[in-house]
Structure 1
């Protein structure tokens, strides 16, 4: 209710300024109001054994995670954990700090509850992000490091290797982002040669699980083949999928950046299910893109998702969304006669 009152004021600001305000507010919350995070945790965290899973050698108290892009510089991990997430990702970040693409580069599509962004991996760089993490890691929730290459890097592989080396003791798993549409030629790295070279060396650097984040605009057969080969080369799982460049979904004439939110719900849901039919039971699958309710999360889970992630829906529906999804999942599980979420995972495709 509180968020619905203040959302019109937040939406009067440009998206990046609004995000900075939210970041500052979350970081300052416990300083200004001692005990505020405990209050939020009591209100938003859903504790139920039916939702707890052990995956990737980690304990996930519930299946709802925060996707990469929200907390680029690992500055909001403590306050975000109080909102009831089962796991968090920070990044995407790069070895060197970079400004990202020119502004304006983020646009709200309010009627469609969606976002169009062309951020370009803007972040403070590995050194500053590392200094933020050493203060809190190890953490109470599984933390994923979402890593990318610098815009002007001439050696993409080395960028990923640098980050794997520097953060292997400061996260619980890695997400290799080679699917953002906002860094030139990044999506071209979605090929067997690059992933083979990356994963072969990565296994020498760290024993932490490595997941690959892929684009929903790939041809299905090519995506399946890419994922299967990546599993053979040591990938622990996949985040399916990133933002979309299917501009036919838009009516604003802007043909740049990536689309997230409600507009890609159907597209990403279908893309995920097709890949899950081939990959389910062989690897860990995280579904992302357009998830905005317990009903949609449950459908992805029944279609093979071990975990799900949200981002854009959090902007439109507010901090209670995580709690609401988890509560709705519990209701839906019981209605279908399931005692535990693992019984529902992949039930539609088994």
Structure 2
């Protein structure tokens, strides 16, 4: 694999969304060519038994996954896996195809090692993504399906979009993620309320045996985030993902006034919300932490706080794909240094 630092200046000369298209072209090749995958032969895939765990009835070979927003259309599953990820979350997928928000809609904050995006759930729609997953699932590593409502769907009808997607994708992934926390669809975050979540999980749990997780925003008051996630679990959520991007534009020096910010500046804010939720829900549900994770030390901090899995995305832009391998390799050493024989012993260590 090419040295990322040598090609990063070239990629950074491109508009961020165009650079993403370049990465997508490269990562689609293993899908198109049907290149077989062997975790024991892939140089970037850390396959150490100390990292293995079973969640949702599937084996996760390592705890580092790719967060939703990168592989929106399930076109890069094989390529992503060769980078070393233990699981992939596709989407966000909506029932109907949509182009998303006007361009430009993705921006780099280079000094802050962060990304601001206002993409707006641009994706091919459920029909095409279902067809792709039918060809590839089940896959060697687990696949999560992140689902959201179409922009044109009124909030009062939003539940129909989510139930439509659950029926369409049932059996084609290892878990669903309910996305009502993106800042890029008008009114979406308003669905982070007890009435909607209660009705959604009542209907969703009757439609599928697949686990259904809820992803929340980092901009809620801590007590509200804890109350909402606790209630979601009581209503049937099988896990919580914390957090989505932030609209706290004070975190970067020259923000755009649209979209959500991810990356290094989200690290503290995301962890504070996750920590509060974990204090309440560790041991009661599966917790996944995302937001500003760019090292094994940060991943290990989230794991000891109660995360069974972690997700990364923006950090790859600034540190390159070797970051995944480095996090997993160094996690092995951190676990061994603390005397653990398996990662499951470290999960929630700070809660015990």
Q: What TM-score, normalized to structure 2? A: 0.96
Correspondences of 1:139-218 after superposition (within 5 Å): 139-154=139-154, 155-218=157-220
Tell which deviates more after alignment, 203-212 or 35-44: 35-44
Tell which deviates more after alignment, 180-189 or 132-141: 132-141
Q: Which residue of 2 aligns with 1:65?
A: 65
Tell which deviates more after alignment, 170-179 or 331-340: 331-340
Per the TM alignment, residue 40 of structure 1 is displaced from its structure 2 partner at its CA by 10
Q: State yes or no: 1:241 paired with 2:250.
A: no
Q: Which residue of 2 aligns with 1:322?
A: 324
Q: The residue matched to 1:42 in structure 2 has which SS?
A: coil
Q: The residue matched to 1:277 in structure 2 has which SS?
A: helix
Q: The residue matched to 1:65 in structure 2 has which SS?
A: strand
Per the TM alignment, residue 317 of structure 1 is displaced from its structure 2 partner at its CA by 1.3
Correspondences of 1:13-162 after superposition (within 5 Å): 13-28=14-29, 42-154=42-154, 155-162=157-164
Per the TM alignment, residue 303 of structure 1 is displaced from its structure 2 partner at its CA by 0.8
Structure 1 Cα separation of the partners of residues 243 and 305 of structure 2? 14
Structure 1 Cα separation of the partners of residues 39 and 211 of structure 2? 33
Contact 2:109-2:252 at 8 Å conserved across structures: no
Structure 2 Cα separation of the partners of residues 42 and 209 of structure 1? 29
Structure 1 Cα separation of the partners of residues 199 and 181 of structure 2? 17
RMSD over aligned Cα atoms:
1.7
Per the TM alignment, residue 123 of structure 1 is displaced from its structure 2 partner at its CA by 0.5
Q: What TM-score, normalized to structure 1? A: 0.96
Contact 1:30-1:37 at 8 Å conserved across structures: no
Q: The residue matched to 2:298 in structure 1 has which SS?
A: helix
Contact 2:40-2:47 at 8 Å conserved across structures: no
Q: State yes or no: 1:303 paired with 2:305.
A: yes
Contact 1:113-1:313 at 8 Å conserved across structures: yes
Query: Structure 1 residues 70 and 31, CA, compared in 2 at 3 Å: closer, same or farther?
Result: closer
Q: Which residue of 1 aligns with 2:274?
A: 272
Q: The residue matched to 1:171 in structure 2 has which SS?
A: coil
Q: The residue matched to 2:59 in structure 1 has which SS?
A: strand
Structure 2 Cα separation of the partners of residues 58 and 269 of structure 1? 26
Per the TM alignment, residue 254 of structure 1 is displaced from its structure 2 partner at its CA by 2.3
Contact 1:30-1:36 at 8 Å conserved across structures: no
Per the TM alignment, residue 233 of structure 1 is displaced from its structure 2 partner at its CA by 0.9
Structure 2 Cα separation of the partners of residues 38 and 205 of structure 1? 34
Q: Which residue of 1 aligns with 2:294?
A: 292
Per the TM alignment, residue 315 of structure 1 is displaced from its structure 2 partner at its CA by 1.4
Q: Which residue of 1 aligns with 2:348?
A: 346
Q: How many residues align?
A: 349
Q: The residue matched to 2:261 in structure 1 has which SS?
A: strand
Q: The residue matched to 1:263 in structure 2 has which SS?
A: helix
